Amino acid sequence: MYILTYKYKLKQSKMKNIYLLNAFSLQMVDVPSVIEFREVDALPDGLISAIGHQDTANVLGVPMNRINVHLQPGDTAYVAQLQGGRLPEGSTTLPDGFKFKFIEVFVHTPQTLANNF
Name 115's bridge partners: none
* Residue 12 pLDDT grade (very low, low, confident, very high; cuts 50, 70, 90): very low
Backbone angles phi, psi at 106, to 5 degrees: -125, 135
pLDDT digits (tens, 9 = 90+) for 32-85: 888 999 999 999 999 999 999 999 999 999 999 999 999 988 899 999 999 999
pLDDT digits (tens, 9 = 90+) for 89-100: 999 999 999 999
Least Cα distance to 93 among 59, 63, 62, 61 occurs for: 59
Cα separation, 96 vs 99, in Å, equals 8
C-alpha 8: how far from chain center: 19
Q: The whole model's pTM is what?
A: 0.80
Q: What Rg value do the Cα atoms of the chain yield, rounded?
A: 15
What does the pLDDT read at residue 117? 61
> What are the structural domains of the chain?
2-115 (3.40.50.11170)
